[in-house]
Amino acid sequence: MAIKIEMPKLSDTMEEGVIAKWNISEGDKIEAGDVIAEVETDKATMEVEAFDPGTVLKILVGEGDAVPLGGIMAIVGEEGEDISDLLEEANNANGGASSSDSESEEKSSEKKSSDKSDKKEFDPILDDVESGKGKKEESSEKTSDDGRIKASPLARKMAEDKGISLTDVEGSGPDGRIIKRDIEDYKPSEAKKDSSVQVPSFASEEDEEIKISQMRKVIARRLSESKFNNPHFYETIDIDMEKAIKARAALNEISEVKISFNDIVVKASAMALRKHPEINSSWLGDVIRKHGDVNVAVAVAIDEGLMTPVLNHTDKKTLQQISAETRELAGLARDRKLQPEQMEGSTFTISNLGMFGIEEFTAIINPPNACILAVGAIRDVPVVKGGEVVPGKRMKVTLSSDHRIVDGAKAAQFLNTLRTMIENPLAMML
């Protein structure tokens, strides 16, 4: 009996996956446990294994295609087996026909598309129809029974890549279905007059359009939600780094792993969080959850965006443990090998741009955390000691806080505890 291979849920925030690579071809025989594909999620590129043996009868999506959760990626069974029912189910589950079906459909509809394009270009009453009575009828024609706009997977992908709303495109395929040619022939001026304001596009030959990755989409969505839904406020404090610099040098003479200034900030933050549980909290709508564990996430920059691996029970770890684990997680992040569980459960986040010479910045809170700490570079500055101006080493940190959870005084108290810890490194040993 033929079985379908569906897009699995590979992370807690995943809504769809992109086929990064197929390791199989139609006609291949596979066994349970074989790695059949690599899928790019919002957090990492992960391997997908087969659960059942059989022959690959049909691959329904190509590399680079996005597939919703539960969408059918391939069909496996016995050679020669009838899979027409599963193909129809896949068509409905994936929101359209397979790529091969779409291509044939598009070719058969070319003449119809051309006729419709001419009609649309020269019909003097089209704009009135679109902005008036005809709008409801057009909408019902363009959507299927479940409310989805009728469009081939290829057309959907092209529209997404070009930033075109399918609601603005007239379909020339069967029953008004939107196909490849409709997207190719689409002009922004054809959009409905009552649609949202169109941003003018000024393109030149030197411009480059880059496809938005799953990770970038999720970063954009989550941080936009955080910035606009969570009332941020910011407090900055200046920290004397003289003793921390000396302590780090001494520790690195005996430590098996190199301890960075960021490791010291992580350790000090974890200990300060234990003393200030309001900062180690989350807003859950009807309640505020004060977390029993201190799990610090460390922002790691990669080419595709930003990842935040989590150091669980950070307050209970030594500086050596923090250093070793941070390096390991950062390496996995840059190789896109982090597992979902390594990025879940954070209660506080630290973002450090000091290595780039950034002296001070503000960061957007990483939901569902209440706060995020932005760490700047260590600066050479003149300071007054004993009535004399002498060279000093200072570092600014800025705490972004969710005002629904944290008040200004509580944030200030946390920052003062953090400063005390860093300015007196021996306090972290107690």
Q: Which residues are catalytic?
A: 403
Q: What is the pLDDT of residue 219?
A: 86
* For residue 222, pLDDT beyond 50: yes
Query: Which residues, 6 or more positions from 330, have their beta carbon under 8 angstroms from its beta carbon?
Result: 298, 300, 309
Direct distance between the N- and C-terminal alpha carbons of the chain, in angstroms, rounded to an integer: 65
Predicted structure pTM score: 0.65
Residue type for position 349: T
pLDDT band of residue 237 (cuts 50, 70, 90) is very high
Q: What is the pLDDT of residue 67?
A: 86
Query: Which residues, 6 or more positions from 69, have their beta carbon under 8 angstroms from its beta carbon?
Result: 7, 8, 9, 14, 15, 16, 17
Q: What is the pLDDT of residue 189?
A: 57
All domains of the chain in start order, with CATH: 3-93 (2.40.50.100), 231-428 (3.30.559.10)
Token digits of residue 121: 């270009």
pLDDT band of residue 92 (cuts 50, 70, 90) is low
Q: What is the pLDDT of residues 25-51, one digit of tens each?
A: 999 999 988 999 988 887 677 889 988
Write down the mean pLDDT value for the chain: 83
Contact 19, 216 (CB under 8 A): no
Most confident of 23-32, 92-101, 355-364: 355-364
